[in-house]
Structure 1
């Protein structure tokens, strides 16, 4: 009992079961631009990525994106690969210019009326089926604007991660790429746990908060016992992208 108390006291606030439950509700079951609770949204089919470049430094952008998608696949256990053609892809990432990005958003989304928020450095969108499974996604990054604001890496990481089914931002969730006040540009231990929670087989597209809560309670109880929660920050740093950025 004493040993358990010592381990429990060593945890960060975000590692508590209650915090993780609330963080999942904030990020997975809400949407930044849509009020009210939303259902679970996640990929059920394999993700096939296509990169479209309208800028220089294509190799660097492709490598950053490749490493991050590899990291997402490792965390979630979901199949993510690069498509052989644009037609085969269901997830398109466009590296654009500020002068072009509104047009690129309209083209990739198929919605000529869609406009990015005035304060946005990048943008993503999702397509859902009737059961709220994600069937397609897109990300558009105006590279020159993102680089000017030192947000290129965070745009790649945050927007593609949100397009996996964690679409909201919240100041209540920290430390996390979904919180604008978190200094890190790479996934945190908390982010990795949110992704793992979302891609547990028992979490289905279309589930509501009341349905999700008891399922996650069982999962988190196991993760607290087996060290998954305690080791989350250490484990999330074991990726090519962390190594590439010098961590």
Structure 2
């Protein structure tokens, strides 16, 4: 998920030959609003993650306090402009089967950024279809600074959302802290910078640039997800998402909705996507009816990982027509 002044979200990184597989990086970057937008800072070497985490602390660091105040302003600015809608779309956001199919092609089969540029150079190049074939087991991890109340709320929300995604896709998706292949971390500023070792353990073969992309997220980045595939097969096998603990309630929930959905295989954004969270305009904060339709298409057995646009397009159009009940 990417939101920014020149908004954009998702970066597909093609790995070097020695790496395990393709990495898709989704960033949530700041949308245009009253609060200033920071430029990306030079990546730092993350400190090691402690072997055991101390109990949750209610003492907030000055850095986290400043971030909390900043993102509260960001959310308020978006809401004051009528953005961050929580409805699934209605009569004011109509779309046809043809619009759904074209939107899906742009979201699922194109990359937003040129690999290796850190999301600084637009791509718009076609890619292949990516999704999971194994059950998705989400491990939810909180930094020591996260309160017990927030942990309880976010755990319930994530569990409910995963159950919804599983129903929509027909694919097994659930919370599993014992054997996760999709790691979701809700952490503070300081805690995020210490995630390097956990990230390297979760995504074997990940490069230093990708580690820095998550551990050193600039202020303009809300949240991010990396998905790792098996070679160039398009089959996702591992993912790692980071959400800022300093976010106010709706912005944090919005990050959870988009980063998890993106980690399932919808890596791009498009101005055509409406009603959708896969659009840089920030109109919708939570998964919409169009987003659900795209997930249904993505996990339909008529499609397969690794398909090109030419291979997938006629199938996608047929599936979109069926979902919409016919009519363009």
Measured against the shorter chain, the TM-score band is 0.7 to 0.9
The within-5 A match list for 1:1-247 is 15-34=95-114, 35=123, 36-54=125-143, 55-56=146-147, 57-85=150-178, 88-104=179-195, 107-109=198-200, 110=203, 111=206, 112-114=208-210, 115-116=213-214, 118=218, 119-130=220-231, 131-144=233-246, 146-147=247-248, 150-225=250-325
Q: Is there any run of 5+ residues in structure 1 with no aligned partner, and where?
A: 1-9, 230-247
Q: How many residues align?
A: 215
Name the CA distance, whole Å, in 1 between partners of 2:182 and 2:308. 25
Name the CA distance, whole Å, in 1 between partners of 2:228 and 2:263. 10
- Whichever structure has more helix as a proportion of its residues is 1
Q: Helix, strand or coil: the match of 1:15?
A: coil
Of the two structures, which has the highest relative contact order with CA contacts closer than 8 Å and spacing of 6 or more? 2
Residue 22 (structure 1) shift: 1.3
Name the CA distance, whole Å, in 1 between partners of 2:293 and 2:301. 14
Q: Helix, strand or coil: the match of 1:140?
A: strand
Matched-pair contact (CA < 8 Å) for 2:162–2:175: no
Matched-pair contact (CA < 8 Å) for 1:91–1:138: yes
Matched-pair contact (CA < 8 Å) for 2:293–2:323: no
Q: Which residue of 2 aligns with 1:3?
A: none
CA RMSD of aligned residues (A): 2.4
Q: Helix, strand or coil: the match of 1:183?
A: coil
Matched-pair contact (CA < 8 Å) for 1:96–1:104: no
Q: Are the structure 2 counterparts of residues 223 and 181 from structure 1 closer, same or farther at C-alpha, using a change threshold of 3 Å?
A: same
Q: Helix, strand or coil: the match of 2:248?
A: helix
Q: Helix, strand or coil: the match of 2:318?
A: helix
Q: Helix, strand or coil: the match of 1:99?
A: helix
1:7-28 residue CA offsets vs partner (Å, 9 max, x unmatched): xxx9877531221121111111
Larger deviation: 12-21 or 69-78?
12-21
Residue 170 (structure 1) shift: 2.2
